[in-house]
Amino acid sequence: MARHMIRLNEQNRIIKAFSTDFENSEEGDICVEEEGGRHFHLDIVDSYTGAFKKAWDSVNSQIVDVDLSAEIAARDIVVAETAALEAKRQRRLFGEKVIDKIAVLNDTKSLTVEQVLGFMSNAEVKSIDALLRSGSIESAKAMITGLDFEILALSIWTESDRTVILNMINASGYVTV
């Protein structure tokens, strides 16, 4: 008969469970069954958090479940933060696509260097560019919607161009239509 053994970490959590038929015990290992079967499997790692979920209760000489609520809460925060970062990354990528679309629209026209520089140096166009690059799609949409082409003298950008960009933004799902 094999002995069933466990190994603990500093927090008394079980980090290994094994049978002496397959592995030699080390100093500090605890025998939980003197005459166990050949195989000893103990599910010790929580699949959601990756934390060790079993511990050794030395007072009662038994294996106990560990309260993982702190680890689960920490994991939930990490998952939420990761999802938020991914959403922000996706919004930024979409903003870059809108900027590329604006460039394509401008490239289809016979523009002078001065016209392009004038367009790109306009304060509102710079703000729209910055908002799109940061992923602030709703704010960029509001600015694009509110652009007054006659006052800004942005004759290189037409109402049709604005409609194409706003339709692209509206179809993205990043804004409420």
Residue 6 has pLDDT above 80, yes or no: yes
Q: How confident is the model at residue 177 (pLDDT cuts 50, 70, 90)?
A: low
Q: How confident is the model at residue 15 (pLDDT cuts 50, 70, 90)?
A: very high
Q: How confident is the model at residue 36 (pLDDT cuts 50, 70, 90)?
A: confident
Q: Are 172 and 101 in contact (CB under 8 A)?
A: no
Spell out a b/e string for 101-127, using b for 16 or more CB atoms within 10 Å of the CB, else e: ebeebbeeeeeeeeeeebbeebeebee
User: What average pLDDT is seen over the chain?
Assistant: 86
Q: Which two tokens stand for residue 132?
A: 């799109």
